[in-house]
Amino acid sequence: MAIEYTPARWWNPEDNNFVRCRLCPKRCRIAPDKRGYCGVRKNIGGKLFSLVYGYPAAMHNDPIEKKPLYHFLPGTRIFSIGTLGCNLGCVFCQNDSLSAYGPLENASPRYFSPAEIVDLALRHNCRSIAYTYNEPAVFAEYAADTAKLARQAGLKNVFVTNGFITREAADEIYPFIDAANFDMKGFSEDFYISMCKGTFAPVLESIRFFHSLPGKHLELTNLVIPGKNDSAELVDQYLDWVEQHLGFEIPLHFSAFHPAFEFRSAPPTPPETLYRIAAHAQQRGFKYIHLGNIR
């Protein structure tokens, strides 16, 4: 079956059939017949198209705690979808089979409309839909259309995201998202540039913006990498920011790193490191601390 691509949103035409994507802070200028950094948005004839709208690469019926969300609809099931592609280039990616995108043929050969995703969630007795596995911003059109229908059907919507999205796109998408877990990679610009091929400030802005919207539930996850983002100084800078901008009630998840993808020079995170961070955060007054990926 031939794949049909869907017109993208959040872009402008430029001279010589180039297009400018406005979905994420990279704001790729894309030449004809080329893709943006994410690998799944393509300039075809001077117009931008999503290559993954309707073609999930992963669909699962999960416990909501797996997202991880521990304080939103606990004990319920969540229907999770993800596509290919990512707008960051984390050398330590724990899910590179999707984020590094590879051939688009790895996605589902069958088209699943937003209405079909909602129907699947209802038939699997799920209370919510998660846009997850890879970065949902890169399939924002698909996520937004599905989320609108899900809300009409009485389902909640969840983003599991790196937060690397423009305010313009977030303005249209975040109002339909009920809960989110933002992945805080490391609390410094240097970390984002050297380890993630991105920038730090837009992530902080996205988290603040989502938290400012009424009725939203927010949790944060930090993958702790030995020698890279596990210093007491960086951890305290992170906790300082959360305390100042979000408060002590925000659930914080700290996860152990295990060598993966292109970054294998650091050892797995010792459990003692996570226990130390958790004890320190609790001592500072944070109420909900969760540790993950400890083996």
Provide the residue range defining the domain that includes 165: 58-292
Average pLDDT of the chain to the nearest whole number: 95
Q: Look at residue 98 and tell me whether its pLDDT is greater than 90.
A: no
Q: What is the mean pLDDT of residues 156-164?
A: 98
Asked if 42 and 63 sit in the same domain, the reply is no
Residues 115, 28: one domain?
no
- Looking up residue 224, the CATH number of its domain turns out to be 3.20.20.70
Taking 60 as the threshold, does the pLDDT of residue 85 lie above it?
A: yes
Mean pLDDT to the nearest integer, 269-279: 97
How does pLDDT run across 5-60, given as a tens digit for each residue? Answer: 999 999 999 999 999 999 999 999 999 999 999 999 999 999 999 999 999 999 99
Measured CA to CA in angstroms, residue 148 lies from 5, 25, 78, 114, 153 at distances of 21, 24, 16, 9, 9
Cβ burial of 125 (10 Å; 0-12, 13-18, 19+) is: exposed
Together in a domain, 93 and 23:
no
H or E element, residue 160: strand 156-161
Mean pLDDT, residues 196-218? 98
Predicted confidence (pLDDT) at residue 101 exceeds the cutoff of 60: no
Are 214 and 69 in a shared domain? yes
- Answer yes or no: is 218 within a domain: yes
* 1 lies in some domain: no
Mean pLDDT of 136-150: 98
Alpha carbon distance, N-terminus to C-terminus of the chain: 42
What domain count does the chain have? 2
User: Does 148 lie in the same domain as 181?
Assistant: yes
In a domain, 185, yes or no: yes
pLDDT given at position 261: 85
Strand partners, 7: 49
Does position 130 have pLDDT exceeding 80, yes or no? yes
Please check whether residues 136 and 279 belong to one and the same domain: yes
What 8-state DSSP symbol labels residue 189?
H
**Report field, pTM of the whole predicted structure over 0.85:** yes
Whether residue 133 is found in the same domain as residue 174: yes
